[in-house]
């Protein structure tokens, strides 16, 4: 983390919750990275697995000589490892360029093979939502806790539906979805329909063998589990109707043409394996830190509301989502970045402009409260010191923004 520029200086370092934001790097040794849901650092196991394929080892796995065969063997071993983590046959794994491509392939690929109405939950990532919209599909409501409304799904399931997509866990609020129940309902009501689950956020935290067991199609992404960016996979169980999006040399059982990203694929497999091996220990530790952070922030920030944290609703251990009245996410993120805290609003911002979150809207959270959304996502690299620092910096930043707002609203003569 030291490779990054030190947080900008300016304010005094201090622990006062309502004082100025301590923008002087109180922790000059490292950043406080609380954005693991956006991307994760590369795991050592992934880097070690990749390095030979970025150096002396190379080869096109589709070739017919020893160099090619060695590359093919590496891809095959990675396929075995991915299949073991997901709980499928190696032959069901299709390597892609990431989660977005895997989601697109599931939605558009099934629609191309079997045209008909497509449904997805109202809280899907844009990687699912936009292809569903592109094929004329519709969304199914969630309840105010952020959990799929199974009655609404039942009502939407007409006999001609061909696909229903429900993410394993949401990327903004971290709520785990009832994939098995939904798949069971779809199977009973429309036996021919396929069920897709986007397990991109869940892969670090849940035992996928159980979490996605009911789904025909599963999307995963390497960079959310400590692997490199730009690689992912779609698992397509036998018999799922699927057409390729990318045509060419016929790699990946003709489902995804293009020369394999060998280094990326072996890195993803190593990361997934490492995540699965340490999950039980890391998930407990991270959940405890996340809960301490949540309790501390809610106590220190008047009016802050925890989103997606309803009692009894399963959620990912690393994700904390808050709505903070009286501030705007962009301004808060700016102050936090200045202080060396990396966080997110979790709303769409690929263009740099934050848009209202469709996830919060689907949960019935209005734009005013949603404007102050803050997502803090912890991961296996997070420490108690990260939580301590965030607990000092975030309430102070909110107080500073609220103070500035109150100030600017005062009539000029009273200043």
Spot the catalytic one: 120, 323, 342, 349: 349
Tell me whether residue 167 or residue 183 sits nearer to ligand PLP (CB atom): 167
Closest residue by beta carbon to ligand PLP? 99
State in angstroms the smallest separation of the CB of 165 from ligand PLP. Answer: 11
Q: CB nearer to ligand PLP: give 198 or 216.
A: 198
> Alpha-carbon distance 309 to 324, whole Å?
15
Q: How far is the CB of 319 from ligand PLP (least distance, A)?
A: 11
Q: Find the shortest distance in angstroms from Cβ 198 to ligand PLP.
A: 5
Q: Which is nearer to ligand PLP, 127 or 147 (CB)?
A: 127
Distant-in-sequence, close-in-space partners of 45: CB < 8 Å, separation ≥ 6: 226, 270, 271, 273, 274
CA 371 to chain centre: 20
Could you count the other beta carbons within 10 Å of the beta carbon of residue 328? 16
Residue 121 or 273: the one with the smaller Cβ distance to ligand PLP is 121
As measured in angstroms, the least distance from the Cβ of 176 to ligand PLP is 12
Rounded to a whole number of angstroms, the minimum distance from the CB of residue 212 to ligand PLP is: 13
CB 312 to ligand PLP: min, Å: 23
Active-site residue flag, 349: yes
Chain residues in the site for ligand PLP (CB under 6 A) = 98-100, 103, 125, 127, 167, 171, 198, 200-201, 221, 223, 232
Give whichever of 316 and 397 is closer to ligand PLP, judged by the CB atom. Answer: 316
**Cβ distance to ligand PLP smaller for residue 105 or 393:** 105
Which sequence positions are flagged as catalytic? 349
């Amino acid at each position: 983390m030291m490779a990054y520029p030190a947080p900008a200086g300016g304010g005094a370092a201090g622990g006062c919750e309502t004082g100025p934001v301590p923008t002087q790097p109180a922790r000059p040794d490292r950043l406080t990275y609380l954005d693991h849901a956006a991307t994760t650092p590369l795991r050592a196991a992934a880097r070690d697995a990749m390095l030979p394929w970025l150096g002396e080892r190379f080869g096109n796995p589709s070739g017919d000589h020893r160099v090619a065969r060695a590359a093919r063997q590496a891809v095959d071993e990675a396929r075995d490892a991915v299949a073991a983590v997901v709980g499928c046959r190696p032959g069901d794994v299709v390597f892609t360029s990431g989660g977005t491509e895997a989601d697109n392939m599931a939605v558009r690929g099934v629609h191309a093979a079997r045209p008909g109405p497509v449904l997805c939950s109202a809280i899907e990532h844009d990687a699912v939502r936009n292809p569903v919209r592109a094929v004329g599909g519709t969304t199914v409501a969630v309840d105010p806790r952020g959990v799929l409304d199974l009655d609404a799904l039942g009502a939407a399931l007409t006999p001609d539906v061909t696909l229903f997509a429900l993410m394993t866990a949401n990327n903004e609020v971290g709520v785990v979805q009832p994939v098995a129940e939904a798949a069971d309902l779809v199977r009973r009501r429309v036996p021919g329909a396929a069920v897709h689950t986007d397990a991109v956020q869940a892969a670090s935290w849940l035992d996928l063998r159980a979490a996605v067991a009911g789904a025909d199609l599963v999307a995963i992404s390497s960079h959310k589990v400590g692997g490199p960016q730009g690689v992912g996979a779609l698992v397509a169980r036998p018999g799922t109707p699927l057409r390729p999006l990318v045509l060419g040399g016929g790699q990946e059982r003709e489902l995804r043409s293009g020369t394999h990203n060998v280094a990326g694929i072996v890195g993803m497999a190593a990361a997934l394996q490492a995540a699965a091996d340490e999950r039980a220990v890391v998930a407990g530790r991270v959940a405890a830190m996340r809960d301490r952070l949540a309790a501390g922030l809610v106590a220190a920030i008047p009016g802050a509301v925890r989103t997606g944290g309803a009692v009894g609703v399963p959620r990912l251990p690393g994700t904390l989502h808050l709505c903070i009245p009286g501030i705007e996410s962009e301004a808060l993120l700016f102050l936090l970045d200045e202080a060396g805290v990396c966080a997110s609003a979790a709303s769409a911002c690929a263009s740099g402009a934050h848009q209202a979150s469709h996830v919060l809207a689907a949960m019935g959270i209005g734009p005013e409260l949603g404007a102050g959304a803050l997502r803090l996502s912890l991961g296996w690299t997070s420490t108690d010191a990260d939580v301590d620092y965030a607990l000092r910096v975030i309430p102070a930043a909110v107080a500073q923004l609220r103070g500035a707002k109150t100030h600017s609203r005062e009539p000029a003569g009273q200043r």
